[in-house]
Structure 1
Amino acid sequence: MSAVNMQLMSDEELEEMFEEYEVFLKSLSFPIQEQIISQPVDLKVYIDSQTSIYAKTSNDKRKELLASYIDYSKQIETSNQIMQRKRYIVFSVPVKQQTNKAFEIAKKTAFTNENHIINGLLSLKLLARPLNNLQLLRLLHVLFDYETAQLSPIQSDTIKEIITGGTEV
């Protein structure tokens, strides 16, 4: 979920935003939790792009500078110096019975609730999107083993899918 810079808002804008948020919350027919979780910054894509540029560079001085910059970026990524705060909205849908039909009903309800949240936040000019399997695995990794998640984040979602529910966990 994205964030809003409230420091730049006037008192009237703040009041309007809080009123709209209250309307959004009252429109929900199910409980939600809002979580802000500090997570390590993932610079892998950036480091890979710099490494690609390095491989194509013929200028020795530029190569030396790029190599130094890549090493520095790797050090930042594995240190506690830079964190990102990610916002999550969490909700649950109970599965009433251990049947496929009950599971499908719960799944449909979850998608309906998800769309209600996404559209409600969009009306507040906030962007929200559901996590995919890899993002969920990385979040759980951070929650259960922060230090390892920082040094060696999960790179593949080859672990059995856990978002679909059912008997897969």
Structure 2
Amino acid sequence: MAARLSVAHATRQLTSCAARRPSPFIPATCQRWQRAPLERRLFSVSAAIKAKQYTEDHEWIELSADGKTCTLGISEYAANALGDVVYIELPQVDMDISAGDAIGAVESVKSASDILTPISGKVFEANSALESKPASINADPEGDGWIAKLQIDGEPEGKMMTKEEYKAFTEEA
């Protein structure tokens, strides 16, 4: 008989959770679940802030959540256009930069290209893994193949594009 009562009690609790009705029988986990939609909305807003932005020179930046730093790299389109990368000149840590500066270079079997920064600031980290394995930028240029992390000073200069706008831009070329 005791097992039947506990099953009935659990059924009442689940029904209360599913219906989202306040009840003294709702366990704390269900009460947190009831607040989840608000938390999900806040998460989606912060994801939009961190969206990558692309330049016409085929670099991307991704701002951090606090808006004080960003990650810089070359786009997948640029990596494919360059071909197999054989050498990467990385920026120096603590290097002061201005928007439009060449902060490094990427050389491939086909060509070489400067890495331009669309934002002013200071380099605080360079992806040293690319020095020993430059071809890894071809595998994941918009992920592990990032070039540098920057402390930013101001807003990006020039035209910045969303992923969709950048895709349309590269399809026109």
| Structure 1 and Structure 2 fold alike (TM over 0.5) | no
Give me the TM-score of the superposition, normalised by structure 2.
Answer: 0.23
Structure with greater helix share of residues: 1
Structure number, greater radius of gyration = 2
User: Which structure is higher in RCO with an 8 Å CA cutoff and minimum separation 6?
Assistant: 1
Structure 1 or 2: more strand by fraction: 2
